Chain A
């Protein structure tokens, strides 16, 4: 408090306040302020950021798609995750323009969205292949030899898990249990699940997708 003037019942007080904004030069995007803020998640954006131009979408229809997805959940509370899941499903990853789009529409800082997007395993911030191969490394599969299955898929595709083939056809990932434990070891290509897979069958399964793509 700096100064008080006037009479009791009619006082004017001058206060010294700390700044109520985030200094972008010092911000590391840790998100702690968002957690601590008593008005949780009602983050105020300075007006100039709202007007900032977004990164362009690869094609015009992409923007419509994302607008549609956001519209589907707009009135729901806690809608960030469902929106990101649908975008991730549509593109197979989370393209930057889409995240900026969501940030603007939901009036949520991009750092917060990126924090959520990088936390969950389901999201990818880099483009992924057309078919996502998930080799199950759940305990049931693990004891039935899925590490060897994974080795075989890696050799067959010439990539390690977490990587995408050059032709953008396959991305290889590991999953912690798809609930197919009684038919271990299991792997999933897209939505198709294969049970009791032997390393010898790997070639056949992958080839069937390669052939379908080239024909």
Chain B
């Protein structure tokens, strides 16, 4: 059935709401890639067979990631007429217990993370409360979702449906207000009005550079040409970032609707989603979503009978980081080697196959429908002066609570790491937070009160980037981190321009030498000089930002570089050539655990006698240190 009127859309919405809230017990398993890697697949299978075996009248569905990957697998149970409860760290055994409890008509009170009292319907600006958030059988101390530190400060726009709907059901997306913004745009607004709203909202590109989205759209709108393209950049290459995967796996229609609105505004009739091949589940969900949208006439010819047509295709990447750069991405879609080219001409003038093209990131597209539905003013009221709205970060590394968080821009790094993230694992000392991936930098403890927005992070020599935020503690060596990023950029440099191709290699060689204890006086200055040269002369953003990890670590952690070069010491005890493992005689009880686990057979010693590490055989893997239960291994 093709939807051509608001009545028809609302009818599908009713259907979707009935699916989402079926009026009987509903069990939802978080089945994004993160959930599956934590074991959600087995949990789902157990629940499925148990439900069948016990003959339960229960709806079992899959859902996306609610963002709290740390405690996955997550299972949510909606008890009709009562409340929705979230269970954490589920296993097949625990899932069995859950099924048994459901059979007995009880609420399982173990493994609870929180209760969800109400669900926010962002597009319509309403909330849908559950009838009885405090049923007597539920222990009073179970916190509500909004009370958890992890979720308290979050404002979900991009992630509005992740963990709340089945991503493979367009009806459930429509049930929560989906495609109403598209309807309004194509039936009641002119393209200029749509662009005006996006401009007034102050939305800036969430891919990292932060270019005003409305302005970009206006350039493309005004560019002459009958055929125009819109592209979604889902080539999320930054290591340590997985926001786009979360959105595409958990709510693919949010991106599709945004792109359709953008296409209408710019006069484009074709679109591509360029998604990296490392995200097979995201591609699968996108394919399903496009198929469903076409079936309802929400993509294709004359959408809502308005005369506006838009076709959308998926293109898979093939594992090249540089393809996240827009001109390289276009080359890749054209079937060529993904090498960037100089700009101008900008893609808005001459992009895909020489036609005006607009490329936006997954997160940017997912913000469009809410802006159109709720208005620019509402959106601009979120965030801070220079950076409006919210953005999604992947908070990972040495932090107690990791996962995806969506916060208003302007929040401080300290709030992110200590309130949402719950501080450093094992109460160790915070050393640095890395933002912006290989293009970004490491920010030290003394700058933790910096607000997270495009300009503040840029001023520190880092960038906001696409949203990876990797927390590091005192056991991470900053020279080694710089070496790691240069190894990455050197490997991923396409080789077209000399400064990037040769310069990153030189930086990498010097950093490797420093990590191996071969550093020399003057190396730091040389690193800085080469870095500045690469920044100034590279062809594209990859090269121009590649030295940032080196420059920021030198700027904020110069002492560590000096210790490596002058004293041949690695204070974090990471750089293998600079450390030795020894047995502390007084502590060793001769339990043989380290001897048995040592992969290099470098430990000798009989039972109940003090062991000895043979330095010429030791490969410094650290297995003995980790396995010793008596703290008898010293690293110097």
* Chain A interface residues toward B at CB < 8 A: 31, 41, 77-82, 84-85, 115-116, 119-123, 137-140, 142-144, 148, 151-152, 155, 175-184, 186, 191, 193-196, 199-200
**Closest approach, in angstroms, between the C-beta of B627 and any C-beta of chain A?**
9
Q: Which residues of B contact A199 (CB under 8 A)?
A: 621, 623
Give the number of chain B interface residues (Cβ < 8 Å): 61
A193's closest neighbor in chain B, by CB? Answer: B37
Asked if A139 contacts B468 (CB within 8 A), the reply is: yes
Closest residue to A199 on the B side, CB-wise? B623
Closest to A151 in B: B621
One of B200-208, B217-225, B276-284, B514-522 contacting the partner: B276-284
CB of A183 within 8 A of CB of B492, answer: no
Contacts of A78 in B (CB 8 A): 315, 333-336, 353
- The answer on a CB contact under 8 Å between A177 and B37 is no
User: Are A176 and B320 touching (Cβ within 8 A)?
Assistant: no
Instruction: Name 8 extra pairs, CB < 8 A, besides A179-B34, A181-B402, A183-B69.
Output: A81-B318, A81-B332, A119-B337, A139-B239, A143-B481, A177-B238, A177-B242, A199-B621
Cβ-defined contact, A143 with B398, below 8 A: yes
Enumerate chain A residues within 8 angstroms of B69, measured Cβ to Cβ: 182-183
- In angstroms, Cα B320 to Cα A153, docked, is 24
The contact sample of 30 A-B pairs, CB cut-off 8 A, is A41-B335, A80-B336, A82-B315, A85-B277, A119-B338, A120-B320, A120-B338, A121-B319, A122-B319, A137-B239, A142-B239, A143-B470, A143-B481, A152-B621, A155-B599, A176-B237, A177-B236, A177-B278, A178-B278, A180-B34, A181-B240, A182-B34, A182-B394, A182-B404, A183-B38, A193-B33, A193-B37, A195-B37, A195-B38, A200-B597
Cα(A125)–Cα(B241), bound, Å = 29
Chain A residues with Cβ below 8 Å from B176 are none
State how many angstroms separate the Cβ of A173 from the closest Cβ of chain B. 10
Q: Inside 8 A of B336's CB, which chain A residues have their CB? A: 41, 78, 80, 116
Proximity bits, B610-628, A CB within 8 Å = 1, else 0: 0000000001011100000
Nearest A-chain residue to B401, judged by Cβ: A182
B34 touches A195 (CB 8 A): yes
B481 cross-chain contacts in A, Cβ below 8 A: 143
Within the complex, the shortest CB–CB distance from B399 to chain A, in Å, comes to: 10
A121 with B318: CB separation less than 8 A:
yes
User: Which B residues touch A196, using CB under 8 A?
Assistant: 38
With a 10 A CB-CB cut-off, give which of B396, B437, B472, B481 has the most chain A CB atoms: B396
Inter-chain contacts of B599 with A (CB < 8 A): 152, 155
Whether B556 is near chain A, meaning CB under 8 Å from some CB there, is no
Q: Which residue of B lies closest to A176 (CB)?
A: B239
> By the criterion CB–CB under 8 Å, are A81 and B239 in contact?
no
**CB of B580 closer than 8 Å to a CB of A:** no
Residues on A with C-beta less than 8 A from B333 are 78, 81
* Chain B residues within 8 Å of A184, by CB: 396-397
Q: How far is the CA of A179 from the CA of B597 in the complex (A)?
A: 31
In the A-B complex, the 5 residue pairs with the smallest Cβ-Cβ separation, listed nearest first, are A182-B69, A121-B319, A139-B240, A179-B242, A138-B239
- The verdict on B403 contacting chain A, using a C-beta distance below 8 Å, is yes
Instruction: Judge whether A116 and B34 touch: CB under 8 Å.
Output: no
- Nearest CB of B to A145, in Å: 9
Least distance between A106 CB and chain B CB atoms (Å): 9
Smallest CB gap from A182: residue in B? B69
Q: Is B321 an interface residue (CB 8 A)?
A: yes
Could you tell me the distance between the alpha carbons of A152 and B623 in the complex, rounded to whole angstroms? 10
Q: Which of A84, A143, A179, A183 contacts B245 (CB 8 A)?
A: A179
The answer to whether B315 touches A179, judged by C-beta atoms less than 8 angstroms apart, is no
Within 8 Å by CB of B240, from A79, A140, A193, lies A140
Residues of the B chain whose Cβ atoms lie less than 8 Å from the Cβ of A148? 621-622
For window 230-273 of B, CB contacts with A under 8 Å fall at 236-242, 245-246
Shortest beta-carbon distance from A210 to chain B in Å: 18
Known contacts A177-B238, A181-B394; is-contact A80 B38 (Cβ 8 Å): no
Give complex CA distance A79, B315 in Å.
10
Most A CB contacts (10 A, CB to CB) among B236, B404, B468, B619 go to B468
Do the beta carbons of B321 and A139 come within 8 Å of each other? no
* B36 contacts the other chain (CB 8 A): yes
Residue among B278, B319, B622 making CB contact with A120, cutoff 8 Å: B319
Q: For chain B residues 564-619, which have a beta carbon within 8 Å of chain A?
A: 597, 599, 619
Give Cα distance in the complex from A144 to B470, angstroms: 10
Bound complex: CA of A37 vs CA of B37, how far in Å?
48
Q: Whole-angstrom distance from the CB of B313 to the nearest CB of chain A?
A: 8
Give Cα distance in the complex from A125 to B526, angstroms.
Answer: 38
Question: Within 8 Å CB of A82, what residues of B?
Answer: 315-316
A143 and B34 in contact, given A137-B239, A177-B242, A181-B242 (Cβ under 8 angstroms): no
Q: Are the C-beta atoms of B402 and A182 separated by less than 8 Å?
A: yes
Given the known interface contacts A139-B437, A140-B397, the answer about A122 and B318 at a Cβ–Cβ threshold of 8 Å is yes
Interchain nearest-CB distance for A4 vs B (Å): 37
- Smallest beta-carbon distance B457→chain A, Å: 16
What residues of chain A lie closer than 8 Å to B296, measured between beta carbons? none
Does B434 count as interface, using CB distance less than 8 angstroms?
Answer: yes
User: Please, which residues of chain B bring their CB within 8 A of the CB of A85?
Assistant: 277, 316, 318
Return A171 CB to nearest CB of chain B, in Å. 14
CB B522 to nearest CB in A, in angstroms, measures 29
Which residues of A have CB within 8 Å of B278? 175, 177-179
Return chain B residues, CB-CB under 8 Å to A140. 239-240, 394, 396-397, 402, 468, 470
Question: Is B335 a contact of A120 with CB atoms below 8 Å?
Answer: no
Which among B38, B239, B321, B338 has the greatest number of chain A C-beta atoms within 10 A? B239
Residues of chain A within 8 A (CB-CB) of B325 are: none
- Do A178 and B396 contact each other (CB < 8 Å), given the known contacts A84-B318, A120-B338? no
A190 CB to nearest chain B CB (Å): 10
Q: Give chain A nearest CB distance to B604 CB in angstroms.
A: 20
Whether B240 contacts A182 by the Cβ 8 Å rule is no
Closest to A78 in B: B335
Contact in complex: A177, B241 (CB < 8 Å): yes
Report the Cα distance A138→B245, complex, angstroms. 14
Given contacts A139-B437, A143-B470, contact A177 B36 (CB under 8 A): no
- Report the separation of the CA atoms of residues A135 and B235 in the bound assembly, to the nearest whole angstrom: 19
B320 and A139 contacting across the interface, CB-CB below 8 Å: no
Instruction: Return the contact of B70 from the options A116, A119, A179, A182 (Cβ within 8 A).
Output: A182
| Residues of chain B lying within 8 A (CB to CB) of residue A144 | 397-398
Any A CB within 8 A of the CB of B117 = no
B280 — which chain A residues lie within 8 A by C-beta? 191
Q: How far is the CA of A214 from the CA of B559 in the complex (A)?
A: 54
Please tell me if B476 contacts chain A, counting CB pairs below 8 Å.
Answer: yes
| B488 part of interface (Cβ distance < 8 Å) | yes
B453 beta carbon closer than 8 Å to chain A: no
Given A179-B279, A180-B37, A186-B37, are A121 and B320 also a contact pair (CB < 8 Å)?
Answer: yes
Whether the Cβ atoms of B33 and A115 lie closer than 8 Å is no
Known A-B contacts A85-B277, A121-B319, A177-B278; A193 and B335 likewise in contact (beta carbons under 8 Å): no
B166 adjacent to chain A (CB < 8 Å): no
CB distance from A43 to the nearest CB of B (A): 12
Q: How far is the CA of A57 from the CA of B420 in the complex (A)?
A: 57
| Beta-carbon contact of A81 and B353 below 8 Å | no
Choose among A77, A137, A178 the residue with the greatest number of B CB atoms under 10 Å from its CB: A178
